[in-house]
Amino acid sequence: MGRSTIFRYMWRRAMRIFPAFWAALLATAFLFGPVAWVLETGSIDGYWDAPTQSPFTYFLSNVWLMLGQRNIAEAGSTLPYAQLHGGYDWNGSAWTLQYEFFAYIIVGLLGLVGVLAYRWLTTAFATIILLLNALQWSGAGDVAAWFPIFADPFMLMFLGPFAFGMLFAIWQHVIPIDDRLALGALGLAIAAYAFGGWNIWGMHAFSYFLMWFAVRATKLQHWEKHGDLSYGVYIFAWPLMQVGAAAGLHNLGWFVYHLVIVAVVHVFAFGSWHLIEKPAMSLKNWTPRWLRSLLDRWVDPAWNRLADGLVDPRFSSTPRAARMRAEASS
Mean pLDDT of the 258-275 span: 97
Q: What is the pLDDT of residue 191?
A: 98
Q: What is the pLDDT of residue 159?
A: 96
| Domains in the chain: boundaries | 6-96+227-281, 289-329
The pLDDT tens digits of the residues spanning 194-237 come to 999 999 999 999 999 999 998 888 777 777 788 999 999 999 99
Instruction: Report the alpha-carbon distance of residue 33 to residue 31 in Å, rounded.
Output: 6
Per-residue pLDDT of 146-157, as tens digits, reads 999 899 999 999
Q: What percent of the chain has pLDDT over 90?
A: 71
pLDDT of the residue at 137: 94
CB 185 within 8 A of CB 208: yes
pLDDT tier, 3 (very low <50, low <70, confident <90, very high otherwise): low
Q: What is the mean pLDDT of residues 286-299?
A: 82
Q: Among residues 300, 305, 312, which one has the least CA distance to residue 113?
A: 312
Calculate helix-pair angle for 97-113, 6-27, nearest 10 degrees: 170
Amino acid at 88: Y
Residue 2 reports pLDDT greater than 60: no
**Out of 163-172, 182-191, 214-223, 252-261, which region has the weakest mean confidence (pLDDT)?**
214-223
Cβ atoms 87, 93 nearer than 8 A: no
Q: What pTM, to 2 d.p., does this model score?
A: 0.87
Answer whether residue 105 shows pLDDT above 80: yes
Confidence of residue 81 (pLDDT cuts 50, 70, 90): confident
* Helix, strand, or coil (residue 328): helix
Residue 293: pLDDT band with limits 50, 70, 90: confident
The residue among 231, 219, 241 whose CA lies nearest residue 271 is 231
Please write down the long-range contacts of 245-253, taking CB distance under 8 Å and 24 or more positions apart: 245/79, 245/80, 245/81, 246/35, 246/36, 246/37, 246/39, 246/40, 246/76, 246/79, 247/36, 247/39, 248/39, 250/80
pLDDT of residue 204: 96
Q: How far apart are CA 37 and CA 30, in angstroms?
A: 11
Could you give the CA distance from residue 34 to residue 49 in angstroms, rounded to a whole number? 12
Under the banding of pLDDT at 50, 70 and 90, the label for residue 163 is very high
Q: How many other C-beta atoms can be found within 10 angstroms of the C-beta atom of residue 314?
A: 10
Reported as a single tens digit per residue, the pLDDT across 174-198 is 999 999 999 999 999 999 999 999 9
Give the pLDDT confidence score for residue 226 in this predicted structure.
Answer: 85
Decide which of 130 and 294 is more confident: 130
Whether the predicted pLDDT of 300 surpasses 80 = no
Which residues are CB-contacts of 189 (< 8 A; sequence separation ≥ 6)? Answer: 198, 202, 203, 205, 206, 209
DSSP 3-state of 285? coil
Average pLDDT value over all residues in the chain? 91
Residue 1: pLDDT band (50, 70, 90) is: low
